[in-house]
């Protein structure tokens, strides 16, 4: 659905994005990650048609965003964590009605969508409240409804859970999962909250200094750069010899031990259960946030090479 090839954009003498290429099939949720100033917002602005690139080709659903902008924007929705599409002094319901007319949504379809979104996002208690009086969580939920009222094929989410509490974050994540699964909406998600990525996206793209450094399944990112997996074991009694060949003993508290390992868990589990009778055993996966932090700090590659080098870029962009 989205095809970006050799995208290049300059501001004055600063290159904002350089030679970025990717394809996103319809119905996918993709996490687009990178530090501040990496080029994420520039990419989104090109994809929405707000900016024209200096070089390369971009098509979204067969349209060139900045050349066929009217048709293009009718097929997309966007939610930006720091901005709202609602009218500040109008009740939420009236803002949504205005958007219905702007996007020419048939009255029956509008009613169906509003009813479904009201239920999924629990909009009922504040539909008649002006936007200026909403809490941040309420406003984000209303903005999500506004972005999807016209049945867009593509949804851009920029920091959709920033500043929200745990309950509000999970409600929004569940809603995004639902519209993706039930309506086939393609989602491009930019966020610094790795919980959003972990719960929503199977694929991630990582950008820094205007270059795309990794594009692949989240599981591949974890497998290659996530550090060791952990095996948490509680024995019936403390084993006389807790060390196991091929495993790293990370912590020991009487019968409760923690091991580090890589690869499949089957071998380590068999080796550990051979030491003594086991009461409980759990495999802990590497934390996504810790993985991304390690990549940003440039400590993953041999010799401590920073990922901006050619060697590092090739390794990240084409994981084994």
- Write down the domain spans for the chain: 228-284
Q: How far apart are the C-alpha atoms of 29 and 187, rounded to whole Å?
A: 5
Tell if the pTM clears 0.85, that is, is over it. no
Q: Which residues pair with 137 in a beta bridge?
A: none
Distance CA 58, CA 173 (A): 28
262 vs 250: CA distance, rounded Å: 13
Per-residue pLDDT of the chain (320 residues; tens, 9 = 90+): 677 777 666 654 555 677 788 899 999 999 998 877 778 888 888 898 888 888 888 899 888 999 998 899 899 999 987 788 999 999 999 999 999 999 999 999 999 999 999 999 999 999 999 999 999 999 999 999 999 999 999 999 988 888 888 888 899 999 999 999 999 999 999 887 778 888 899 899 988 778 888 899 887 877 777 777 889 999 999 998 899 988 999 999 999 999 998 878 888 999 999 999 999 999 887 777 677 777 766 644 333 333 333 323 333 444 43
d(C-alpha 14, C-alpha 110), whole Å: 44
Give exposure, 157-185, as e/b (b: 16+ Cβ within 10 Å).
bbbbbbebeeebbebbbebbeebbeeeeb
**Integer CA distances (angstroms), 46 to 19, 60, 75, 79, 188, in order:** 13, 11, 15, 16, 13
Q: Nearest-CA neighbor of 207 among 55, 18, 29?
A: 18
Contact 215, 179 (CB under 8 A): no
Beta strand 203-208 with 256-261: parallel, antiparallel or unpaired? unpaired
H/E element holding 273? helix 266-273
């Amino acid at each position: 659905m989205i095809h970006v090839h050799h995208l290049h954009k300059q501001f004055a003498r600063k290159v904002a994005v350089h030679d970025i290429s990717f394809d996103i099939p319809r119905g996918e949720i993709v996490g687009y990650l990178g530090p501040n100033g990496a080029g994420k917002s520039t990419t989104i602005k090109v994809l929405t048609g707000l900016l024209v690139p200096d070089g390369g080709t971009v098509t979204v659903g067969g349209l060139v965003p900045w050349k066929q902008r009217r048709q293009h924007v009718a097929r997309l929705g966007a939610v930006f964590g720091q901005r709202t599409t609602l009218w500040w002094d109008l009740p939420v319901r009236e803002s949504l009605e205005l958007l219905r007319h702007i996007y020419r949504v048939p009255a029956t379809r509008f009613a169906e969508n509003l009813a479904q979104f009201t239920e999924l996002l629990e909009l009922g208690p504040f539909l008649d409240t002006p936007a200026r009086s909403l809490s941040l969580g309420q406003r984000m939920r209303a903005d999500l409804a506004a972005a999807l009222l016209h049945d867009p094929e593509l949804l851009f989410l920029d920091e959709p859970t920033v500043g929200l509490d745990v309950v509000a974050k999970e409600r929004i994540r569940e809603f995004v999962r639902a519209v993706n699964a039930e309506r086939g909406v393609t989602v491009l998600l930019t966020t610094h909250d790795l919980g959003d990525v972990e719960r929503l996206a199977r694929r991630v793209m990582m950008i820094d200094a205007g270059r795309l450094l990794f594009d692949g399944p989240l599981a591949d990112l974890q497998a290659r750069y996530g550090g060791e997996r952990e095996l948490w074991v509680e024995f019936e009694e403390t084993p006389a010899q807790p060390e196991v060949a091929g495993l790293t003993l990370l912590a020991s508290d009487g019968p409760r031990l923690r091991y580090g390992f890589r690869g499949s868990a089957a071998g380590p589990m068999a080796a550990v259960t051979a030491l003594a009778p086991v009461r409980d055993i759990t495999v802990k996966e590497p934390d996504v946030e810790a993985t991304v932090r390690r990549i940003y700090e440039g400590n993953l590659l041999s010799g401590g090479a920073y990922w901006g080098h050619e060697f590092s870029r090739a390794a990240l962009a084409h994981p084994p």
